[in-house]
Amino acid sequence: MIKTDVVVIGAGPVGLFAVHQLGLIGLKAEVVDNLDKVGGQCIELYPDKPIYDIPGLPECSGESLTKNLLEQIKPFKTNFHLSQRVEQISKEENKWKIVTSKKNIFLAPNIIIAAGVGSFEPRKFSIKEAEKFENKSVFYSVKDKIFFKDKKVCIFGGGDSALDWAIELSKFSDVTLVHRRNEFRGAEHSSGIVKKLEKEKKIKVKMPFQIHSIEGKDKLETIIIKDDNEKTEKIETDCLLGFFGLIMKLGPIVNWGLNVEKKTIPVNTENFQTNKEGIFAIGDICTYPGKLKLILSGFHEGALAARGCFKLARPNEKYRFEFTTTSKSMQERLGVKKND
């Protein structure tokens, strides 16, 4: 059994910043995440895609944001428990017992749910043959765009992700964009760029078409697409990318006795506590009047939830607000060395 001050569920940017805020005030956190890596949706879905609304950073990627947040919490020596999800919680006197799918057991007075919109998985190609090539030449996200360099790539989808990656990969790959409708669903600006690149013969666009079959033995060789009139076309390709959206699942959270509303959890904005004492919710999974689903908002929520955790983790101590610029105890926790 692992005893700690707080169990943070979710290792995305908001969960990582909550760990930082907890560490500053002397609370130890253990982090559990269903993914096999730290970074949440930022690292899973758009590690290379620019993010423009992080304060003080005119532009950053999901990957660089995650790396910076990990660097920020390095002094706290946080343990991450990845590729597992919290299956059960129960109250034992004044603490929560948390059991994961890998049978790890935690005992803590506080839980911070920073699980985004729950565990998620991409909608996949409907044809069974795609499973054979999954993670080899069939993908549902881009983790390293250089992998696709100088290859024939077919991208399926008409939303922002499909358009953005078609534009980006066309810089060094042979890209065919396939969409089942006659119009794209993505941003008008991106749609305009794709149409311009098509005229310049830098992208091939096939609409309205859907995938019909995949051919290849040891490796993907060709795909067959068909339109609404059953007309088919054969395309030679090395890689398939499917961007059909995500299936979001709250999973066991719905059985924890929380007041879940439309897959979100209402909170008290004083400290982002749920209807259960010691369970807090921050980031996209929480809801309250005026809620904005921004990483910035999640950072604010994590800071207040951390202070709420202090009261339960240190019931005999009074929390005293301090600034990192003047607090010697905070600077010591961060490993800051002062010159005499």
Provide the CATH number for the domain around residue 261: 3.50.50.60
Residue 209: name the closest of 189, 194, 229 by CA: 229
Mean pLDDT rounded to a whole number for the chain: 91
Structural domains counted in the chain: 2
Cα dihedral sign for 276, 279, 284, 289?
positive
57 domain residue, yes or no: yes
Residues 96 and 162 in one domain: no
**Structural contact between residues 146 and 167, judged by C-beta atoms closer than 8 angstroms:** no
Q: Name residues whose C-beta falls within 8 Å of residue 190's C-beta, 6 or more positions apart in sequence.
A: 160, 163, 164, 167, 184
Residues 116 and 250 in one domain: yes
Q: How confident is the model at residue 45 (pLDDT cuts 50, 70, 90)?
A: low
Residues 254 and 116 in one domain: yes
338 domain residue, yes or no: no
Domain range for 88 is 2-120+246-333
Residues 84 and 113 in one domain: yes
Q: How confident is the model at residue 339 (pLDDT cuts 50, 70, 90)?
A: low
Residues 116 and 257 in one domain: yes
Residue 176 CA: distances (Å) to CA of 73, 134, 163, 209, 234: 42, 19, 11, 12, 12
Looking up tokens 């990969």 gives 169
- pLDDT at position 338, please? 65
pLDDT in tens, 238-295: 999 999 977 766 678 888 889 988 889 999 999 999 999 999 999 999 999 999 999 9
Residues 265 and 315 in one domain: yes
328 domain residue, yes or no: yes
**Structural contact between residues 172 and 149, judged by C-beta atoms closer than 8 angstroms:** yes
Domain boundary among 176, 208, 242: 242
Residues 192 and 281 in one domain: no
**DSSP code of 21?**
H
pLDDT in tens, 52-74: 999 999 999 888 999 999 999 99
